[in-house]
């Protein structure tokens, strides 16, 4: 039996934490400006802050690759302890305005505690993280404000959800427009051209062969462009699986009514030209049939590895109820 090849080594001043869903992987950059890249899901915010403190002491800056709940859930707690938050300019501006669509939290029914962005990031901007300079690379597609971070001396690339060793990020064709898949593909081509020695994805392991990972991601992303209906289905499966993970499963008889109330499901049904009720039923049946969802003790559960979430952590209000941009929620 052949052993899995080892990924390229990381510099000693980088600490990498590969985390199961519903958290994104986390990168700690030690030095005079200790920085954390992505802060995980709100249900594990205290764990994130504790890990960062244990490995790096104080955290001066949190950089978000994008604003989905599994990447920004620890922001509020870390800000309450003195960290600043940096994020791509389009998402930073929406957070400052307190747009109801912030983080797609309400759209996806994924809780995100209120936070502010102290530092909007633009393409090509050089950012000091730890003791090294990183270049901000705009990589829209998975979200409009998605970004990557490039360390040219070490040729290390933090890619967020743009790609992983096994997948590419889903695209939201309804809210972000039919060109979102093409935008994601263009972003992948751009980061592939950098020729990274190390790719640090937000989910899954560090790829042992960065060139092969980029090539596979380009093929997968092209399929999303060529097959819009497939892209819609792909996103629907990912969103439902995440909902099951963060809720510890949903009673079998309540899953379809839950889906009927979701804006993303209605949008998917419109793009597929089917009734939402029909799509909900087919989505559940398809995921059960593939083994992506399992029925256990009367509840549907996501089959993928994931960490349980304390139910009380799901009570964060939607962004439309967040305090004004200059204020932060108390007692986070």
* Listed residue (135, 136, 191) closest to 162, CA to CA: 191
* Helix residue spans in the chain (DSSP H): 45-56, 69-72, 75-80, 89-97, 105-108, 173-176, 180-192, 210-226, 228-246, 252-260, 263-272, 276-290
Going residue by residue through the chain, which has 332 residues, state the pLDDT in tens, using 9 for 90 and above: 456 788 889 999 999 999 999 999 999 999 999 999 999 999 999 999 999 999 989 999 999 999 999 999 999 999 999 999 999 999 999 999 999 999 999 999 999 999 999 999 999 999 999 999 999 999 999 999 999 999 999 999 999 999 999 899 999 999 999 999 999 999 999 999 999 999 999 999 999 999 999 999 999 999 999 999 999 999 999 999 999 999 999 999 999 999 999 999 999 999 999 999 999 999 999 999 999 999 999 999 999 999 999 999 999 999 999 999 755 554 33
Q: Give the pLDDT confidence score for residue 4 in this predicted structure.
A: 72
Q: How far apart are CA 120 and CA 179, in angstroms?
A: 24
Q: How far apart are CA 113 and CA 304, in angstroms?
A: 25
The three-state secondary structure class of 246 is: helix
Q: Give the pLDDT confidence score for residue 2 in this predicted structure.
A: 52
Evaluate the omega torsion of the peptide bond into residue 104 and state whether it is cis, within 30 degrees of 0: no
CB distance 82 to 48 below 8 Å:
no
The three-state secondary structure class of 121 is: strand
- Structure token digits, residue 316: 């964060």
- Taking the alpha carbons of 259, 263, 268, 269 in that order, is the dihedral positive or negative? positive
Stated pTM of the model: 0.96
Query: Measured in whole angstroms, how far is the alpha carbon of residue 126 from the centre of its chain?
Result: 23
* Listed residue (81, 99, 97, 100) closest to 39, CA to CA: 81
CB distance 196 to 166 below 8 Å:
no
């Amino acid at each position: 039996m052949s052993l899995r090849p080892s990924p390229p080594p990381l510099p000693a001043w980088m600490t990498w934490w590969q985390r199961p869903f519903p958290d994104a992987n986390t990168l700690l950059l030690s030095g005079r400006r200790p920085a954390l890249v992505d802060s995980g899901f709100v249900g594990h915010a205290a764990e994130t802050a504790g890990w960062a403190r244990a490995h790096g002491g104080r955290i001066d800056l949190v950089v978000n690759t994008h604003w989905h709940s599994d990447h920004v859930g620890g922001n509020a707690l870390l800000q309450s302890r003195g960290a600043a938050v940096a994020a791509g300019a389009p998402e930073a501006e929406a957070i400052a305005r307190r747009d109801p669509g912030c983080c797609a939290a309400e759209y996806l029914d994924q809780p995100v505690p209120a936070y502010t962005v102290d530092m909007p990031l633009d393409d090509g901007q050089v950012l000091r993280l730890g003791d090294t300079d990183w270049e901000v690379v705009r990589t829209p597609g998975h979200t409009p404000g998605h970004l990557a971070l490039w360390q040219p001396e070490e040729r290390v690339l933090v890619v967020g959800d743009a790609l992983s060793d096994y997948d590419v990020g889903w695209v939201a064709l309804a809210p972000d427009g039919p060109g979102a898949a093409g935008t994601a593909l263009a972003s992948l081509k751009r980061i592939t051209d950098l020729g990274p020695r190390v790719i640090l994805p937000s989910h899954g392991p560090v790829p042992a062969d960065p060139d092969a990972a980029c090539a596979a991601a380009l093929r997968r992303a092209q399929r999303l462009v060529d097959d819009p209906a497939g892209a819609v289905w792909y996103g629907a499966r990912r969103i439902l699986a995440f909902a099951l993970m963060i809720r510890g499963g949903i009673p079998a008889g309540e899953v379809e009514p839950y889906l009927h109330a979701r804006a993303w499901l209605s949008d998917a049904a419109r793009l597929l030209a089917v009734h939402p009720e029909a799509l909900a039923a087919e989505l559940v049946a398809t995921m059960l049939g593939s083994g992506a969802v399992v029925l256990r003790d009367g509840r549907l559960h996501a089959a993928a590895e994931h960490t349980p979430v304390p139910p009380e952590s799901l009570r964060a209000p939607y962004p439309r109820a967040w305090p004004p941009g200059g204020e932060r929620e108390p007692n986070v």
